[in-house]
Chains A and B, each alone.
Chain A
Amino acid sequence: EIVLTQSPATLSLSPGERATLSCRASQSVGSYLAWYQQKPGQAPRLLIYDASNRATGIPARFSGSGSGTDFTLTISSLEPEDFAVYYCQQRSDWPLTFGQGTRLEIK
């Protein structure tokens, strides 16, 4: 099973700041990595797929990069609605796996 390790576990930032979230895979997943956002009481929402493609309706301040084992989700300038939990997910191999999540909180 491919293990995805996200860091940091919690990130405390202020609106307007830049957020950088990391996801590391235990073995190469190529570009088969996605990012999701989840707010309290809501289902997750797809942000980025295939490492760097924004899903429909996702603002341009969200961007993804990386390949192989190291991936990054960047939010260029935080809006109040961006404070949430973020998960990465791989589909390179079965079983599909998620990272444990990064909580982005308001400083």
Chain B
Amino acid sequence: EVQLLESGGGLVQPGGSLRLSCAASGFTFINYAMSWVRQAPGRGLEWVSGISGSGDRTYYADSVKGRFTMSRDNSKNTLYLQMNSLRAEDTAVYYCAKALELSSYWFDPWGQGTLVTVSS
């Protein structure tokens, strides 16, 4: 069974940094692209970033480009999202999601999410 377990969320001040992790199991991690998707309280879904299976290609939403860095450690089956210069509008539940097929960037399944709150 595929499992994705996010961690690292919490309360951080504006301008601060946070690193999210997503521990993956139940599939050959290196074979699949992965993404982070967020959801602000009471709002819709927003794709944040994506990374290829090997980690050599990354993609970002304009809203986080230059502030967030996505990476993966295929030896540890773990995905990361380094978030710097955080803003109030980054407050959201952050989900990691596996590509349905290799690099298809359809999200299936999703983790349970980790809440990031940016507030002073």
Contact = CB atoms under 8 A, between A and B. Distances in A.
Contacts of A99: 44
Interface residues of A, number: 22
Given A43-B111, A94-B59, A101 B44 contact: yes
A98 B106 contact: no
B9 to A, nearest CB: 14
Chain B: number of interface residues, binned into ranges: 20 to 34
A91 B111 CA distance: 20
B62 interface: yes
A101 B44 CA distance: 7
Nearest to B107: A46
A96 interface: yes
Contacts, number: 61
Given A36-B107, A91-B106, A43 B112 contact: yes
B80 interface: no
Contact of B47 (A43, A50, A96, A101): A96
Contacts of A49: 100, 104, 106, 108
Given A43-B110, A44-B110, A55-B100, A98 B44 contact: yes
Contacts of B50: 96
A100 B35 CA distance: 19
Given A1-B62, A34-B106, A46-B107, A95 B47 contact: yes
Given A1-B62, A43-B110, A43-B113, A96 B105 contact: yes
B45 A44 contact: yes
A94 B59 CA distance: 8
A81 B95 CA distance: 23
Contacts of B107: 34, 36, 44, 46, 89
